[in-house]
Structure 1
Amino acid sequence: MDYILRTLRTKQEIDSIIRDTIDKVLVLRFGRASDAVCLQLDDVLYKSAAEVSKFATVALADVDSEEVQVYVKYFDITLIPSTVFFFNAHHMKMDSGSADHTKWNGAFQTKQDFIDVVEAIYRGAMKGKLIVTCPLPPERIPRFQLLYKDV
């Protein structure tokens, strides 16, 4: 069974998928279709969508869409791609050893890495947690030098 990853281009589409995804993890990838790392991540997401479909929904958000900018600013999306997770309309955070627990920056190395992360978020959410520990070993977590303006 093939899954098509839905691309969201408006604030209303993002609002409704966050609100309407119940008892599943919502995986929301912010990026652009022309970016090589996004394409790599999208391939992993596409290949994983069927396997995680019982406990997760995957959607793509186009960062170049004017209406999506409110979310780009809110989640401070400066690195493309960035993946944000929700459960029952609550923003799920993940401690992956970086200063930023609000999103996953970059691509997942393998399909299994993505499945493991989504499963950890789902299990934590089912226990009422809003932040979970990343199940991946440190060498498989993308590292970025975070630069803060005006600090």
Structure 2
Amino acid sequence: MGSVFLPHLRTGWHVDQAILSEDDRLVIVRFGREEEKDCMIIDEVLFQISEKIKNFAVIYLCNIDRVPDFNTMYELDNPGEPFTIMFFYRNKHMMCDFGTGNNNKLNFMISDKQELIDIIETIYRGAKKGKGLVISPTDYSTVRKLR
């Protein structure tokens, strides 16, 4: 179970510190409720890729019930959205155009590990070049949301 092995951010302060602490790696924060099925699935995928991306990205988990500090600011507590993945680089929120109309976050299932690694690499490369918005390697405008 991926959520057991990935580091959990237990307070708003911990979230801020995680985002502030990295100078050279992309900070990935999965917001959600690990007891929800889709959240468990994405946590497992994140855990499976964490070792492969560790040189340029670090992954954290944050339960939005225990740490509600960012729910309003990042619109995290939406019905039908079991998880939200956000990306930060040098304390800056990185946006990615997935073709879904929401550039602020990844909130749909990607079960293919290489596909998720490709997205993370794309965001990291854009961040290193100083871009605040990158284009996803795949257009997800036709991807149907699960449930």
1:9 to partner: Cα distance: 1.9
1:140 to partner: Cα distance: 7.9
Identity of aligned residues (%): 31
Alignment of 1:76-91 (within 5 A): 76-77=75-76, 78=78, 79-91=81-93
Q: 1:147 corresponds to which residue?
A: none
**Structure 1: which 5+ residue stretches go unaligned?**
145-151
| Mapped pair 1:71 → 2:70 | yes
Q: Is the 8 A contact 1:108 1:114 kept in 2?
A: yes
Task: Provide the C-alpha distance between the structure 2 equivalents of 1:64 and 1:138, rounded to a whole number of angstroms.
Answer: 28
1:99 to partner: Cα distance: 1.9
The one-letter code sitting in structure 2 at the alignment partner of 1:122 is: Y
1:109 to partner: Cα distance: 2.2
Give the TM-score taking structure 1 as reference length: 0.86
Task: Name the SS of the counterpart of 2:8 in structure 1.
Answer: strand
RMSD between aligned residues? 2.0
**Structure 2: which 5+ residue stretches go unaligned?**
none
Give the TM-score taking structure 2 as reference length: 0.89
Task: Name the SS of the counterpart of 1:120 in structure 2.
Answer: helix
1:141 to partner: Cα distance: 4.5
Q: 1:133 corresponds to which residue?
A: 135
Q: Is the 8 A contact 1:105 1:142 kept in 2?
A: no
Q: How many residues align?
A: 141
1:107 to partner: Cα distance: 2.3
